[in-house]
Structure 1
Amino acid sequence: MPKIADIIKYEGDNNTFIWKHPLEDFNSLTQLVVHESQEAIFMMNGQALDLFGPGRYTLETQNIPLISKYINKTTGDKTSFHCEVYFINKTEQMAIKWGTDSKVQFMEPTYNFPISIGASGEMSLRAEDSRKLLIKLVGTENILGQENLVRYFRAFLMTRVKSYIAQVIREQKISIFEIDEHINDMSATLLKMLKPDFEDYGISLERFFVTTIVKPDGDSTYENFKSLHFRQYADIAEAKIRQQTAVIDAETQAQRTVIESQAMATKRQQEGYTYQQERGFDVAQDVAKNEAVGQFTNMGVGFGTMAGVGGAVGGVVGNAVSNALDSANQSQQPAQPQDDMAQFQAKIQKLQMMKDSGMLTDEEFANMKQQLLSSIM
């Protein structure tokens, strides 16, 4: 039984951008099936004529207006006609690898030394303008796959990528020793810069990723600047650690002092005296131990200290000073009787000065004067 109608549909794979159907002589009622994310273009005599989007179509001359005017002239309205059908796969095709074929030469912007790097990554492409892609790249070929497309774009892609990478590094002042931190930003910038180049051929560059930067490890110049770069950050980190340690030590010492002060305050409260009284007692003891306690200055300190100490502690301090005076007076008595009167007069003069300055009351002056008189009687 003769075949009445043909079915024309896409039979390529997902790695194909454009696929030409092998059937070229179409009978009337031939069915054209175009899937989602596809377009079909009819060509005649090397010209791209009608374009069909997703759907099912019955191919008749009246359904193909651009073709019908050619057919009417050549076939006298016969139902059979000769055409070519190209299917364009418009899905986004990912994981298309790219890589520089030679090193990118530029001046490192931070330390200003010449350096060479390589770069590689992946990209994803999608057929955007079916007519433009078919006319500019396919020609008379039956298929355009990823491999052929990348081969077509390789020369200008490598030229653009190397130039753009050097430009981005220079403009953004990206250090070669910190470049891995900027890979995402570099990828976004390169995507934006490369898009117009692909659009000229009806291709949309959907994504562009820089995944690897090949540094010149082992190069003496590179290694020297690498050591310098990381050394400066190590020094800064070490200085910060020392500073933090010093702060911790100071805070610990301050806390220790607070705890000791609180303990001493509790002790004084339990024993019934204040800090001022404790200091007065210490000073009084020092005065009492001083071999020169008989001098006027030490007497002034002793009596002044006693004036600020009250209660039981005041009595203790007063007795300590009095005993010290008595001991000093006894130890300092001369072996010669003729000196007694001179020492007595000097002591009376000191007591008088203390009375005049308000350090001694009249009653205290009289009592101490009487003690001095009694000591020489």
Structure 2
Amino acid sequence: MPLFGRNKNESAFVNGKKHLTDVIKNTGRGELLIWRQPEEDFNTHSTLVVMPGEEAIFIKSGTIEQVFDNGTYHLSTENYPFISRLRNAMSGGVSSFNCVVYFVRKADSEEILWGSQSPIQVRDKVWGIRTSARVRGSYKVRIVNPAIFLEKLIGNNVPFQKQAELTKYFANEFQGKIKSTISIFLNGLTQELIGLDAYLEDLSTQVAPKIDEVFASYGLTCVTFALAGLDIDTTKYDAIDESQIGAIAKGKLAQGDKAVMGILGEDWGKQQAANILTNLSNNSGAGGVAAMGAGIGMGVASGGVVGDMSKQMMSPLSTAAESKEPAKPAAPADQPDDMAVLAKLKKMLAASLITQEQYDAKVAEVLDRM
């Protein structure tokens, strides 16, 4: 190696070597939060140019000498070209008077997206079901203390830091703060957990200070924090909706039937009773005693007019039968009303108070004395 060996870091300078004075300015990409300028160990009285929206951290011999706001500055580094090379020869080409510059983005970061890594367990107090929620959103940060940000988050050997990479550092703290706040809010609700988008802004306001607490010790501040979505698992709600829709449909059908009865009124009952008795009298094999009892019971329930109708329709049948059979003795004055007995028997059968056999026997007994 030559006596006045060139520092290997000189390759980053214009034309691959240091000059008596160099101009140091940010060459990093715009989406970076911090960028370590490649030119190192530049000579004394080199010019530092800091553009609006950024700050520069000047590090000399491992110590932060100064943080520069936007403007133009002349740096003192004790690195004179020939003397520094002589010193470098003694240290294998590595400068004993090391100096570097970090450029830090001063403007707000771009929007950084985030989302909950695991679901938040919550119980719906209206329906009494357990479900889960996931949240997502975005935030923006600003570096308010570049020196602390460099020392605590980056370190000397990291050449740059992208904005989106912040989530790697703060993921666990973020998730813990966000999940605890959202969980307390959701479990405190007395309404169902569907349609909570109206609370997103309020929740964002509650979470933002907790996120800012995490950032503060790293020289950052949370400029904006926003919840973009609060997604509830609706699997169990779908089953509830289907059940409610079925109940509503049945209720509407029942209301429709009631409305029809209200419109047709007593005329409908009379018509149904007449049809039942006519069919039974014309068709002796239509179901026997049980069928006739069921038909008469329906007539009673339909309008309470079967008694009059049956008397009117049965009287011709009785007159015709008098020529063939001797007249039966008249029922005693305290004999119960046969139609009322039949109706009562029908209700008892429907309520399972008597068996079908008992019902048929009693109906036959009543019909025999009619």
Return the TM-score normalized by structure 1.
0.51
User: What is the CA distance between 1:49 and its match in structure 2?
Assistant: 2.9
Of residues 122, 139, 158 in structure 1, which corresponds to 2:175?
Answer: 158
What is the distance in 2 between the residues matched to 1:159 and 1:183? 18
Amino acid across the alignment from 1:31:
T
Residue 129, structure 1, aligned to residue 145, structure 2: yes
Shift of 1:5: 1.1
RMSD value over aligned CA atoms?
3.1
Contact preservation (8 Å) 1:26, 1:81: no
Residues 43, 77 of structure 2: 8 Å contact kept:
no
Report if aligned partners of 2:25, 2:48 keep a CA contact under 8 Å in 1.
yes
1:222 aligns to what? 237
Aligned residues of 1:97 and 1:122 also touching (Cα < 8 A)? yes
Structure richer in helix, relative to its length: 1
Aligned residue number for residue 36 of structure 2: 20
> Is 1:170–2:191 an aligned residue pair?
no
Alpha-carbon spacing, 1:162–1:111, altered in 2? closer, same or farther (3 Å): same
* Secondary structure at the counterpart of residue 58 of structure 1: strand
Question: Closer, same or farther in 2 for the Cα pair 1:175/1:33, shift >3 Å?
Answer: farther
Segment drifting more, 34-43 vs 18-27: 34-43
Unaligned regions of 5+ residues in structure 2, if any? 1-14, 79-95, 249-370
The residue that corresponds to 2:199 in the other structure is 182
For structure 1, the residue ranges without an aligned partner over 5 or more in a row are 63-79, 235-377
CA displacement, residues 147-179 of structure 1 (integer Å, 9 cap, x when unaligned): 322211122212222222112323465641131
2:159 paired residue number: 142
TM-score, reference length from structure 2: 0.52
| Alignment correspondent of 2:230 | 213
Check whether the contact 2:61–2:97 (CA below 8 A) recurs between aligned residues. Answer: no
Matches within 5 A, 1:1-377: 3-60=19-76, 81-139=97-155, 140-171=157-188, 175-217=192-234, 219=235, 221-224=236-239
Shift of 1:108: 2.8
Deviation string 1:129-157 (CA, Å, 9 cap, x unpaired) is: 11111111101201011132221112221
Distance across 1 between alignment mates of 2:62 and 2:129: 55
Name the CA distance, whole Å, in 2 between partners of 1:225 and 1:210. Answer: 28
8 Å contact from structure 2 (residues 62, 98) kept in 1: no
Is the Cα–Cα contact under 8 Å of residues 146 and 219 in structure 2 kept in the other structure?
yes
Structure 1 match to 2:306: none
User: 1:14 touches 1:93 (CA, 8 Å); kept in 2?
Assistant: no
Give how far 1:37 is off: 2.1
The one-character-per-residue Cα deviations of 1:324-367 (angstroms, maximum 9, x if unpaired) are: xxxxxxxxxxxxxxxxxxxxxxxxxxxxxxxxxxxxxxxxxxxx
Query: C-alpha distance in 1, partners of 2:205/2:189?
Result: 13
- Aligned sequence identity (%): 27
- Residue identity in the other structure for 1:104: I
The 1-side partners of 2:198 and 2:244 are apart by 15
Deviations 1:232-285 (A, max 9, x none): xx9xxxxxxxxxxxxxxxxxxxxxxxxxxxxxxxxxxxxxxxxxxxxxxxxxxx
Question: Could you tell me whether the CA contact under 8 Å between 1:122 and 1:210 is conserved in 2?
Answer: yes
Counterpart code for 2:111: A
Bigger CA radius of gyration = 1
**Aligned partner of residue 26 in structure 1, secondary structure:** coil
Contact 1:177 1:226 in 2 (8 A): no
The equivalent residue for 1:279 is none
Matched pairs, number: 216
Which residue type is aligned with residue 199 of structure 2? Answer: H
Tell me, in whole angstroms, the C-alpha distance in 1 between the residues paired with 2:47 and 2:187.
Answer: 57
Question: Using the alignment, how far apart are the partners of 1:228 and 1:179 within structure 2?
Answer: 23
Residues 187 and 110 (structure 1 numbering): CA distance in 2 closer, same or farther, change over 3 Å? Answer: farther
Deviates more, 1:165-174 or 1:53-62: 165-174
SS at match of 2:21: coil
